[in-house]
């Protein structure tokens, strides 16, 4: 069980420091699944910033189920994230899949994301543990809470204390109506087990944009420290995860609704 106070993860962004943790307002991270081109990422960044997001998310390296699916634009997408950071001052969160890309990702990212599929990649965890950027560690889709916490421990034990845990839904036996089962019970459970900040990702958690607002609200009611929400200017045309992406207008409305029940910065 947890010993001691909640820890805070303080991230420096061009717009100033943003603190994640139990005693801080809710931090909202938003943006497309994949970085597609400069206009869309900069436009999305501006819209989510105006709505209240503090971080822009967007994948340059995408862990797709099929090797024939869009894999992300790689380093050129990192340059576009840098342009969006420059244009808005938002912090950047993007996924690292291969340790060989760590220097390039760390140059642009304010927080490095380890995706669900790499939660068990212990050598990658050790490498992000041995560098300075904070790490967002997603729960593996079939990982137990203890396995997830031990994955976090790999990062902490390698010297990096700045880890944020992100629940993104676990494998479901009923994929007909939702892509995953969003396990919101991790909020009280993790609170009792760990001092680390907790983020909920209702976009991957449900796979359907129409279910995202209610799950985001429920996560706030259950005490989440942060939310990750996929937003795309034209979800129907998205290169990945369009069905679960909110339009900027819907995202804007959601942040307003969330602010009624929780303190969102
Ligand atoms: C993502 O954030 O776009 C992503 C691929 O997430 P996950 O690792 O949770 O599937
Ligand atoms: Mn996605």
* Whether the predicted pLDDT of 165 surpasses 80: yes
**Cβ(235) – ligand 1 distance below 6 Å:** no
What is the best residue among 44, 56, 59 to mutate for testing ligand 1's pocket, by most ligand atoms within 8 Å of CB? Answer: 59
Question: Rounded CA gap, 60 and 95, in Å?
Answer: 7
**Cα-based distances in Å from 39 to 34, 64, 83, 230, 262:** 13, 24, 10, 17, 32
Q: What is the mean pLDDT of residues 228-254?
A: 98
Model pTM score: 0.98
User: How far is ligand 1, taken at its centre, from the CA of residue 95, in Å?
Assistant: 8
Distance of CA 163 to the CA centre of its chain: 12
At 3, is the pLDDT very low, low, confident or very high (cuts 50, 70, 90)? Answer: confident
Q: What is the pLDDT of residue 1?
A: 72
* Residues 41-84 pLDDT 10s: 999 999 999 999 999 999 999 999 999 999 999 999 999 999 99
ipTM: 0.99
Atom of ligand 1 at shortest distance to CA of 240? 3
* Whether the predicted pLDDT of 218 surpasses 80: yes
Q: What is the pLDDT of residue 177?
A: 95
* Whether the predicted pLDDT of 137 surpasses 90: yes
Total Cβ atoms within 10 A of residue 130 = 12
Q: What is the mean pLDDT of residues 224-230?
A: 98
* Whether the predicted pLDDT of 265 surpasses 90: no
Q: What is the mean pLDDT of residues 8-34?
A: 97
Atom of ligand 1 at shortest distance to CA of 33? 3
**Cβ(232) – ligand 1 distance below 6 Å:** no
Total Cβ atoms within 10 A of residue 214 = 13
């Amino acid at each position: 069980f947890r010993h001691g106070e909640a820890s805070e993860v303080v991230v420096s962004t061009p717009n100033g420091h943003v603190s994640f943790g139990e005693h801080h307002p809710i931090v909202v991270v938003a943006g497309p699944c994949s970085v597609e081109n400069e206009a869309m990422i900069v436009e999305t960044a501006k819209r989510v910033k105006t709505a209240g997001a503090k971080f822009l998310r967007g994948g340059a390296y995408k862990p797709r189920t099929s090797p024939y699916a869009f894999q992300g634009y790689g380093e050129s997408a990192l340059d576009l994230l840098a342009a969006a950071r420059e244009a808005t001052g938002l912090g950047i969160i993007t996924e690292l899949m291969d340790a060989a890309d760590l220097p390039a990702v760390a140059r642009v990212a304010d927080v490095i994301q380890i995706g669900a599929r790499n939660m068990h990649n212990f050598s990658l965890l050790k490498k992000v543990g041995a560098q300075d950027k904070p790490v967002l560690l997603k729960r593996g889709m079939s990982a137990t809470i203890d396995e997830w916490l031990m994955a976090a421990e790999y990062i902490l034990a390698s010297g990096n204390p700045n880890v944020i845990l992100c629940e993104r839904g676990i494998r479901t036996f009923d994929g007909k109506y939702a892509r995953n089962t969003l396990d919101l019970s991790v909020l009280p459970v993790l609170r009792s087990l760990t001092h680390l900040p907790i983020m909920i990702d209702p976009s991957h958690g449900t796979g359907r944009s129409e279910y995202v607002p209610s799950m985001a609200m429920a996560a706030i009611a259950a005490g989440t420290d942060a939310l990750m929400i996929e937003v795309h200017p034209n979800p129907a045309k998205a290169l990945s995860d369009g069905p679960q992406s909110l339009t900027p207008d819907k995202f804007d409305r959601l942040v307003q609704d969330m602010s009624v029940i929780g303190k969102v910065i």
